[in-house]
Structure 1
Amino acid sequence: MSRIGLLIPSSNTTIEPEFYRALPSHITLHSARLYLTQIATDSIENVVLDMEKQARNLASADVDVVILGATAPSFLKGLGYDREVTERIEKASGKKSSTASTALLEALRHLGIERLALGAAYDEKVNGIAKSFLEANGFQVVNAKGLGLVDNLTVGRLDASTALDLARAIDTPDAQAIVLACTNWKSMQVLEQIERELGKPVLSTTQVCIWAALRMMNETRAIAGYGQLLRSLAPALQD
């Protein structure tokens, strides 16, 4: 039996069920919560204050990896901040770790994506920070739009149809992929439909977290039903 440790915002009600549905039966999920109710810059910055303590708690369950399943807290301070956060988690837990933002960057490179359209649940300010983070990492964001939400419980109550609608709205001919950002925003169940309609890969930040965790654990069996990325599982390159 393998174990994934997941650090999530306290008000996130979506990422755990989406993980459960996609994970193979021999892998279990174990979560720790970091206090956050509002997707605003001050709240996002503070979410990592308790991160090391909760990472150590997860390590005590003998998890194999620890993932920060929160997108905005891992891109908030720009280029390289996701790696800084990963290093803090690894130092505290002694486990291989990653963040939602790091996983997204790696997934885009894995699929050979250079140009993307970005959809998110965030307001204009946070969505702008997400766009800048992606561009600083070498990707061209050809279109970006957010739902304008700040209250995280409100995000968690959205139907997955909102992700489908926004993906359709932001798609452009020059976008090689669609990115749907925010792990509290239901989207996993519509990824296949969006890919069929638009004819291109669709990445959600929950999906890329699952992909990154499984790769770090050398779990390489393809997972169907949640987009091209999880059907393309392959071991992570070793240093």
Structure 2
Amino acid sequence: MSTTVGILYPGYSAEDDYPRAEKLLTDSSRLALVHTEMREDAHRVDALLDIGGDDVLGAGARSLASEGLDSIVWACTSGSFVFGVSGARDQVARLQKVAGVPASSTSFAFVDACRALGVSSVAVGATYPPDVAGRFVQFLTHHDISVLTMSARDIITAAEVGTLPGDVVLDFAEAVSGDAQDAEAILLPDTALHTVDVLDALEERVGKPVLTANQVSIWQGLRLAGSDVHRDGLGTLFRKG
């Protein structure tokens, strides 16, 4: 079934993951992406609250009104979990009201992806500073996902994260996995990180499922649109059917 998923993406860093993924969907499903306003590129709580503001997301959703969306996703992990669990829920509810289609965010996509795979213990490899990464740990813990270890690379801007090459991403995931052998999955929670081209390689390197921000955002959008089917080339999450 061909579906159209709206992707609200903050600024410019790894947005090219989405057209790359779209080519792997194989059923004419579309990922209609719009760049939402990023007044300041910083992995800092005040800047992230601004990035995920209702005015920003509402403007992004309205710009996709002509696309015939089946669902919409706020493709920003830190710009959703930074609001806390109830705030992130309210953020999604308001986005859904504006867009008129099922909505979610990357933070909830991680939770739903873990549940879909039966994963209850994870290791987190965050590009964020430790204080921001700690809020993601709290978000997961609230949803009964045990975080065995958390590594934070302390990178301030999404732009810098977007420059990290695939071999660095692979090495980072391997280091995170090595610190938590008992973790059922590795989570890389930053949509500024390029991962689509290395999803299968990541899992081969660490020997377990790896969930990445852009991957789970796409999966969540397709799931909400009723197109959660087996697909190759996008990791265990997309092959679970």
TM-score normalized with structure 2 length: 0.90
SS at match of 2:67: coil
Counterpart residue identity of residue 167, structure 2: S
Other-structure match for 2:152: 146
Counterpart residue identity of residue 157, structure 2: D
CA separation of 1:79/1:73 partners in 2, compared to 1, >3 Å: closer, same or farther? same
**Shift of residue 2, structure 1, vs aligned partner:** 2.6
- Mapped partners of 1:80, 1:137: distance in 2: 12
Other-structure match for 1:237: none
SS at match of 1:5: strand
Q: How does 1:30-179 map to 2 (within 5 A)?
A: 30-36=32-38, 37-49=41-53, 50-171=56-177, 172-179=180-187
SS at match of 1:73: helix
**Shift of residue 232, structure 1, vs aligned partner:** 1.6
TM-score normalized with structure 1 length: 0.91
Contact persistence 2:21–2:196 (CA under 8 A): no
**Shift of residue 199, structure 1, vs aligned partner:** 2.3
- Mapped partners of 1:17, 1:26: distance in 2: 12
**Shift of residue 34, structure 1, vs aligned partner:** 2.0
Residues 108-153 of structure 1: per-residue CA shift (max 9 Å, x gap): 0111111100012111121111111111221111011122111111
**1:206 is the counterpart of 2:214:** yes
Q: What CA RMSD, in Å, does the superposition of the two structures yield over aligned residues? A: 1.7
SS at match of 1:80: helix
Gaps of 5+ in 2: none
Counterpart residue identity of residue 75, structure 1: F
Counterpart residue identity of residue 94, structure 2: R
Tell which has more relative contact order, 1 or 2 (C-alpha 8 A, sep 6+). Answer: 2
- Mapped partners of 2:214, 2:33: distance in 1: 14
Q: After the TM superposition, which parts of structure 1 deviate over 6 Å for at least 4 consecutive aligned residues?
A: none
**Shift of residue 18, structure 1, vs aligned partner:** 4.1
Gaps of 5+ in 1: 234-239
Counterpart residue identity of residue 44, structure 1: L
- Mapped partners of 2:140, 2:237: distance in 1: 18
Contact persistence 1:103–1:209 (CA under 8 A): yes
The alignment-based identity, stated in percent, is 29
Equivalences, count: 233
- Mapped partners of 1:112, 1:183: distance in 2: 23
Residues 149-171 of structure 1: per-residue CA shift (max 9 Å, x gap): 11111111111222211111111
- Mapped partners of 2:84, 2:169: distance in 1: 25
